[in-house]
Amino acid sequence: MTLFDSPAFEGHEGVHAFTDEKTGLKSIIAVHSTARGPAAGGCRMWPYPSAEAALEDALRLSRAMSYKNAMADLELGGGKAVIIGDSRTQKTPALFEAFGRAVDQLGGRYWTAEDVGVSPADLTHARKHTRFVAGLEGHAAASGDPSPVTAEGVFRGIELCVRRALGRGLDGVTVAVQGVGHVGGYLADKLHAAGAKLVITDVNEEVLRQVAERTGAKVVSPGLIFDAEAEVFAPCALGGAVNAETLPRLRAKIVAGAANNQLAQPEIGRELFRRGMLYAPDYVINGGGIINVAAEIRALDRDEAFDAAWVETKLARLMETLEEVLDRARQEQRPTHEVADEVARARISGAAEKKAAA
């Protein structure tokens, strides 16, 4: 299969490969759309088994960012960067400086930020060679760690889904959280404070222990989280958690979490619908983080300070958008992910038409 035949390609404006022999950098930056504004999306560092796997991940994540930014009503398009490598052993300041030079070659068509395996500290090195980095600290426009805002949006989305599907609040509801790192940990704290019961898992045993101690959560091994007796399954780790093997094991009535690309294939979303399970489309419910980053990009472009009130307004509107998607899916008796995809594509194509006519 060629690049252009990949189902994940779907009209990408550009796919860029960058290498730097001296630092070992091997990076792919995928720009799906700039119709609504410059592409924005984080940089992920992961030991992909092949360049093909890295490319597929970059394409899927980039397209998801276009949809996410459109659903959050941001003046941003979608893009994503991946660095092939083990973040535990292969990170160096020089590698991220090389990555910064790569980002700068795109001339502002893509803004980067942190993602899995990459920290703000890493990106300070990239910032030496490009201004198109968000999510850093130490300046008036700084947005800080976007994880708490992502978690807040997911929390509100879970609360909304529980109210609609179960007709109750979160008190006493059991939520199975897969992955309690940055976002998942904040989410677990919020759910615990709201009275929810938690079943949690993570590959990082120390993080798992800390979250369990402060929330009273039941801990299970990663492979058993799908079998948990829970009303809500919240995938907050890597993508593809809900697939042909795991879906039949889920006891939950609701799937709502922070992970990107939670459904391994679109058919899984249709099967969720057939089983009567409510799915909160991932790129809608988890849009809080990019809203936070967008506030920083907006402030930098305007030479202004970070505006927390703007973030709250956008986050509240995002929850209204989620409710609109769920309403339409119920009215039309269709899977929620198909409705969300249609809305996102319409917003992107509408912006593209307006841009072409200008």
Q: Tell me the pLDDT tens digit for each residue of 266-277.
A: 999 999 999 999
Determine which one of 80, 91, 197, 314 is catalytic: 80
Average pLDDT over residues 68-93: 97
Residue 60 burial (C-beta neighbours within 10 Å; 0-12, 13-18, 19+): buried
pTM (2 decimals)?
0.91
**Is residue 268 within 8 Å of residue 338, measured between CB atoms?**
no
pLDDT in tens, 123-172: 999 999 999 999 888 889 888 788 899 999 999 999 999 999 999 999 99
How far, rounded to the nearest angstrom, does the alpha carbon of residue 187 sit from its chain's CA centroid? Answer: 14
pLDDT of residue 1: 58
Q: How sure is the predictor about 73, in pLDDT bands with cuts at 50, 70 and 90?
A: very high
Known catalytic membership, residue 128: no
How many CB atoms lie under 10 A from the CB of residue 257? Answer: 30
CA dist 251 and 269 (Å) reads 16
H/E segment holding residue 163: helix 147-166
List the structure tokens of 27.
Answer: 């990076």
Check pLDDT > 90 for residue 114.
no
228 touches 172 (CB < 8 A): no
CA separation for the pair 299, 307 (Å, rounded): 8
Locate the DSSP E strands across 181-242: 197-201, 218-219, 232-235
32: helix, coil or strand? Answer: strand
Of 135, 142, 77, the closest CA to residue 106 belongs to 77
In 3-state terms, what secondary structure has residue 185?
helix
Alpha helix positions (H), 248-307: 266-274, 282-285, 288-302
pLDDT score at 115: 86
Q: Looking at residue 28, what DSSP letter applies?
A: E
- pLDDT of 209-236, one tens digit each? 999 999 999 999 999 999 999 999 999 9
Q: What six digits make up the tokens of 202?
A: 């993570």
Compute the distance between CA of residue 118 and CA of residue 213 in angstroms, rounded to an integer: 27
